[in-house]
Structure 1
Amino acid sequence: MKKFVLIVVAVVCGLVLFDFAKADFMADKYYGVFIGISKEDGMKLNNYEVLVLEPTEYDKDDIKKLHEKNKKIYAYLNIGSLENYRPYYEEFKDKTLGTYENWEDEYWMDVSDKNWQNLIVDELGKSIVDKGFDGFFIDNCDVYYQFPEEKIFDGLCLILKGIQKYNLYTIINGGDTFVRKCIDEKIAKEMFDGVNQECVFTSIDFENKKYGKKSAKDREYFIQYLNKAKMDGLKVFLTEYGADIRTLQEIERYCKDNGFHWYNARNLELK
């Protein structure tokens, strides 16, 4: 009996490992989001043409070495919220608007604040450019969904227009409410070149730290949104979390049919 149980366990483990290997084989190797990865591991990334990285982890020489591998490197830039581990946290904590659900170290930011705008554009943005990054990966324009006020919309627009002076490719991560308004007002392409949408096909259970499938209703909403972005001439990327083999097949078909690129992250930390 014990021998039989061991055989069953070995078979199950083998199937799990096979699923992981198959998932890696199926993955779109064009694009990967690794903002939680260490510098040491980041420098070893060889399987992707486009990488999204946390810019504070890398210097100019690091980016040059990645470019020598024919990589395009996009810098993560959080314009809509404030993390408590950033060196400028104490300076701006009084300008926050509220806590960020599921992210205990983060707070929604009043993007209408001029000093915040200057920090993003003239300090953080310039540092990214000086290091040689190819583009910006902009996060948390969802602040406009959380606080749908004109001053918040206008603040985001001012920041995005401000960094355009650097002439780098700009991708908006999430922020569908903001992006939809920009498209409707015909100003989207003045400020960004593409969108990345997380969890079109997958879902995240933050409490139990598990990944699942998106409901059909929610998936259809994002599919319509991404079609709207595509029709406006924006490039489209997807980031999914812990997708199983069947879901990966759906993602692959969908992205292939639409000319999109996608990345299936193994964990929420994007390591």
Structure 2
Amino acid sequence: MKYITLFLIFMILIYTLSIEKINVPFIYQLQNIDLQKIYTFYTPKFLVIDVFYLNDKDKVYLKKLQKDGTKILAYLSIGEAESYRDYWKDAWKKNPPKWLGKENKYWKGNYKVKYWYSEWKNIVFKTIDKILSYNIDGLYLDLIDSYKYWSENGYEIMFTANEMIRFLSEIKEKVNNLLIVPQNGEDIIDFDFNNLYIKSIDGIGIETLFFYKNRKLKSEKRLTYILKIQNSEKFVLVTDYIYPPNNENILKEFINLCEKYHFYGYPANKNQRLKDISLGLKYYKKYEGN
């Protein structure tokens, strides 16, 4: 039995050493995270994860990934409250605080927040304190474009945009040594009159830029904003939900477009749940050098 066990360990070691890892620009996964699997098969330049789903084994591989040069960004929604987080109080459904808005009809359990309220900011800051215990490299901040939602629901857009920019600057001030990467809402720079937004971020994450599933998108207007941000020495992470494609040329064009603009691209699964690693990553090996 002893020799069988040693043989199996030896075979596993041989198999592991024989795996050729794929260098990929970016991976974005929020559920069912297995950092050992990511470390075994991929070397991403950036990895966005929800650290609250990690276990002790994952923490070991988090360090291994960082040692190989991967920047770990922790996902955090600052424009919506999520009922599955530890800060959530069930009493809020019947007696919501002043800053809590309506449930997002597309994402059950997510509620719009008036992010300029100090009560919500304190929740975010306390959550960041918990995130910091994971020794990550930065924060990936979602729902920046909530400023547009509130401008359509009773507030002046100048106010909502300025308050979101101020919130980002406060987060940057709190964790000045970490990367700050907002997701979407790139057109907020129309209201960044004193460059506070640009000074507060290190990169930007963009969803659904070139393709949505099998449909090619008109991206020229968004690119105007994104390239302006990039030209301020910020990196750009792009997630398009395109795997599996009806036509492999979609994957090839997505990869080529990201390379053309010097973006870090992730061809995510079409279900948009970000709970599985997209097998579209294999195309980075297939189209390498094309």
* TM tier relative to shorter chain: 0.7 to 0.9
- Aligned equivalents of 1:101 and 1:43: distance in 2? 35
Residue in structure 1 matched with residue 164 of structure 2 by the alignment: 156
Task: Specify which of 187, 194, 207 is matched with residue 177 of structure 1.
Answer: 187
Identity %: 23
For residues 14-56 of structure 1, the C-alpha deviation after alignment (integer angstroms, 9 at most, x for no partner) is xxxxxxxxxxxxx9712100012x24x2332121232111121
**Mapped partners of 2:83, 2:74: distance in 1:** 19
Aligned equivalent of 1:29:
24
Of residues 53, 76, 85, the one that matches 1:57 is 53
Find the aligned partners of 1:99 and 1:88 in 2 and give their Cα distance.
16
* 1:67 maps to 2:48: no
Distance 1:176 1:189, change over 3 A: closer
The answer as to whether partners of 2:168 and 2:197 remain within 8 angstroms in 1 is no
Counterparts of 2:35 and 2:74, CA distance in 1: 13
Whether the aligned pair in 1 keeps the contact of 2:206 and 2:237 (CA below 8 Å) is yes
More helix by proportion, 1 or 2? 1
The alignment of Structure 1 onto Structure 2 pairs a total of residues equal to: 232
Q: Which amino acid aligns with 2:46?
A: V
Q: Mean alpha-carbon deviation: is it higher for 95-104 or for 71-80?
A: 95-104
Distance 1:134 1:116 in 2: 24
**Cα displacement (A) at 1:234:** 1.9
* Cα shift readout 1:52-74 (whole Å, capped 9, x = no counterpart): 11121126774343222323211
Q: Is the 8 A contact 2:75 2:141 kept in 1?
A: yes
2:206 is the counterpart of 1:213: no
On the 8 A contact 2:116/2:167 being kept in 1, the answer is no
**Shift of residue 248 of structure 1?**
2.0
What 5-or-longer segments of structure 2 have no aligned partner? 1-21, 277-290
**Runs of 4+ off more than 4 Å:** none
Deviates more, 1:189-198 or 1:63-72: 63-72
What letter matches 2:256 in structure 1?
A: R
Superposed counterparts of 1:69-148, under 5 Å: 69=65, 70=68, 71-90=70-89, 93-94=96-97, 95-121=99-125, 123-148=126-151
CA contact (8 A) 2:30 2:50 kept: yes
Change beyond 3 A, Cα 1:145–1:113: same
User: How far apart in 2 are the matches of 1:212 and 1:88?
Assistant: 38
Give the alignment's Cα RMSD to 1 decimal.
Answer: 2.3
Query: CA-to-partner distance for each residue in 1:134-182, whole Å, 9 max, x for gaps?
Result: 1000000111011133443343233322222322001111122324433
Unaligned runs of 5+ in 1: 1-26, 204-210
TM-score by length of 2: 0.72
Query: Which one has more relative contact order, counting CA pairs under 8 Å at least 6 apart?
Result: 1
- Structure 1 residues 61 and 126, CA gap change in structure 2 (3 angstroms): farther
